[in-house]
């Protein structure tokens, strides 16, 4: 009888030791699942945006609206609100659509940008939401414009050699910035409450393709 009591007491102690790690594991799995869901939504919105932005009959405003609508709705307190929000309540999304004209001879024109929404900044543990601007675009550092220029020149050389007209191109870049908020507050542990997610899609469009679609 005493032996059974000792074994029971030992099991309780072992469970008490393991329980915090199990709780942390479950919390981590839940947080990771929600973060992955948000990342998938951001990537889906980016792909939808580039499809619309690359078509001649849609404006960048139309593309941005479609991207925002692609996330559907979610619960925020007692409200049902869009998953992607560029305005109140609690804006969490910024969109930058950049168009880079490339003439048939390879000359790169001036970039044209459509910008809407906000971006969340984390500085020294402080979280602030500010209107997004072109300063946050990563096009100049992460998109190889020179490669698209060289491809445009090479394709036009082939077209001219085959007796066709050389065509201007345009590189369209869609960037989505999303502030994913964690379910629980980990700031006392030194972790930020917001995880900034980013997605980018790039497409080179031939000028006559935009006109005929």
pLDDT in tens, 170-184: 999 999 999 998 887
The pLDDT value recorded for residue 56 is 73
Task: Give the pLDDT of residue 58.
Answer: 82
Share of the chain above pLDDT 90, in %: 56
**Residues in contact with 105: Cβ distance below 8 Å, sequence separation at least 6, in sequence order:** 153, 156, 166
Q: How many domains does the chain have?
A: 1
Q: Is pLDDT of 25 > 90?
A: no
pLDDT at residue number 2: 47
In a domain, 112, yes or no: yes
Residue 86 lies in a domain: yes
Output the pLDDT for position 212: 39
Q: Is residue 2 part of a domain?
A: no
149 in a structural domain: yes
Q: Is residue 101 domain-resident?
A: yes
SS3 at position 78: coil
Res 3: pLDDT:
52
Range of the domain at 180: 10-206
User: Is it the case that residue 19 has pLDDT exceeding 90?
Assistant: no
Inter-residue contact 130 to 121 (CB < 8 Å): yes
**Which of the two residues, 80 and 122, has the higher pLDDT score?**
80
What's the rounded mean pLDDT across residues 78-107? 92
- Confidence band for 213, pLDDT divided at 50, 70 and 90: very low
Residues 48-72: pLDDT tens digits?
999 988 887 788 999 999 999 999 9
Contact 84, 44 (CB under 8 A): no
Residue at 157 is within a domain:
yes
pLDDT of 188 above 80: no
Q: Is the pLDDT of residue 84 over 50?
A: yes
Average pLDDT over residues 91-108: 94
Is residue 22 predicted with pLDDT exceeding 70? yes
Q: Is the pLDDT of residue 185 over 90?
A: no
pLDDT at 7: 57
- Provide CB contacts within 8 A for 48, sequence distance 6+: 66, 67, 70
198 pLDDT higher than 60? yes
Predicted pLDDT of residue 179:
94
Which pLDDT belongs to residue 5?
54
Place of tokens 């000792």: 6
Residue 192 forms part of a structural domain: yes
């Amino acid at each position: 009888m005493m032996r059974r009591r000792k074994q029971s007491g030992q099991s309780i102690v072992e469970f008490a030791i393991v329980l915090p790690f199990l709780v942390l594991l479950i919390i981590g799995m839940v947080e990771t699942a929600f973060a992955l869901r948000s990342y998938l939504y951001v990537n889906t919105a980016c792909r939808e945006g580039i499809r619309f932005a690359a078509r001649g009959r849609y404006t960048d405003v139309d593309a941005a609206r479609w991207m925002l609508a692609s996330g559907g709705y979610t619960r925020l307190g007692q409200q049902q609100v869009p998953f992607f929000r560029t305005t109140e309540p609690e804006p969490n999304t910024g969109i930058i659509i950049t168009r880079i004209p490339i003439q048939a001879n390879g000359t790169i024109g001036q970039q044209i940008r459509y910008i809407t929404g906000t971006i969340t900044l984390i500085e020294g543990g402080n979280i602030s939401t500010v209107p997004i601007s072109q300063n946050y675009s990563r096009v100049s550092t992460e998109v190889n414009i020179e490669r698209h220029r060289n491809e445009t020149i090479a394709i036009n050389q082939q077209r001219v050699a085959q007796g066709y007209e050389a065509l201007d191109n345009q590189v369209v870049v869609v960037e989505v910035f999303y502030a994913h908020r964690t379910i629980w507050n980990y700031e006392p542990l030194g972790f930020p409450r917001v995880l900034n997610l980013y997605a980018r899609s790039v497409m080179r469009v031939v000028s006559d393709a935009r006109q005929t679609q």
